Structure 1
Amino acid sequence: MKKTFEVSDKLFELYHRVHRLVNESMTEEGVSLARSKFLFFLSKLGPCRSTDIACALNFAPRTVTEAIDGLERDRLVMRKPDPEDRRAKIVSITETGRAVLQAAEHPRKQLIEEIFSALDDEQLDQLYDIVSKLVEKTDDIRKRKEEAEAAEVAGAHQS
């Protein structure tokens, strides 16, 4: 059991170190990793409501609103009235936002390549397979928890 936790701790340590380095390199180019997630989402899926962004990125609506406020202030995104719901706004990435995102993408990729150059192709394949199994297991656990919660709610409604 000790080895499981040691490996888990190493994975978390790696994640945090890579995250920090990638964030620093992207921030030097004008957009943090967190802000780039919003820009990347909008560049791929196109204009959408902030509630769609919150749902897709699993963020609280308030967090998304604050992030969009900052991105709009920096002219990286813009809001327009939703033609189908006058209370809502449609958010889209601007050309400036696309340029900033593209500029930050190069150092991110370069850094990831440098980090993973410590592994040969066979090790990369093995790591991919191992991480894929762990992702699949976490999905199974999440699904089981959601099913248990749904059954609990259904049982409460029948009482």
Structure 2
Amino acid sequence: MKKTFEVSDRLFELYHRVHRLVNESMTEEGVSLARSKFLFFLSKLGPCRSTDIACALNFAPRTVTEAIDGLERDRLVMRKPDPEDRRAKIVSITETGRVVLEAAEHPRKQLLEEIFSALDDEELDALFDIVGKLVDRTDEIRKRKDEAEEAAQIAIAR
């Protein structure tokens, strides 16, 4: 059991170090890793409501609103009225946002290539498979927890 915790601690350590390095390199190009997630989402899926962004990225609606406010101030996104719901706004990436996102992607990719170059192709394939298994297991656990929570809510409602 001790080895499990040692490995998980190393994974968290790796994640935080990579996250910090990637964030620094992207910020030097004009957009943080966090802000780039919003821009990337909008560039791939196109204009959408902030509630759609919150749901897709698993962020609180207030967090998304604050992020969009900042991105809009920097002219990286723009809001327009939703033609189907006058209370809502449609958010889309601007041309400036696309340019900034593209500029920040290059150092991110370069840095990740440099980090993962420590592994040969066989090790990289093995790591990919191992991480995939762990992702699948966390999805199974999440599904069980969600089902148990839903069952508990139904029991309470009765």
TM-score grouping bracket, smaller chain normalisation: over 0.9
The whole-number CA distance in structure 2 between the counterparts of 1:150 and 1:105 is 43
Q: Percent identity?
A: 90
Task: Say which SS state the counterpart of residue 104 (structure 1) adopts.
Answer: helix
Give aligned pairs, total. 156
Q: C-alpha separation between the residues in 1 aligned to 2:69 and 2:24? A: 22
For 2:153 and 2:143, locate their aligned partners in 1 and report how far apart those are by CA, in whole Å: 14
TM-score between the two structures when normalised by the length of structure 2:
0.96
TM, length-normalised to structure 1: 0.96
How many angstroms apart in 2 are the aligned matches of 1:123 and 1:30? 34
1:153 offset after TM fit, Å? 2.5
For residues 65 and 18 of structure 1, what CA distance do their matches in structure 2 show?
Answer: 27
Q: Return structure 1 stretches of 4+ with deviation > 2 angstroms.
A: 149-156
Q: Give, in whole Å, the separation in 2 of the partners of 1:152 and 1:61.
A: 23
Query: Which residue number in structure 2 is paired with residue 104 of structure 1?
Result: 104
- What whole-Å deviation, never above 9, does each CA across 1:85-115 have from its counterpart, x for those lacking one? 0010000000000000000000000000000
Shift of residue 152 of structure 1?
4.5
In angstroms, what is the RMSD of aligned CA positions? 1.0
Unaligned runs of 5+ in 1: none
1:89-142 per-position Cα deviation (integer Å, ceiling 9, x unaligned): 000000000000000000000000000000000000000010000000000000
Q: Distance in 1 between matches of 2:69 and 2:135?
A: 33
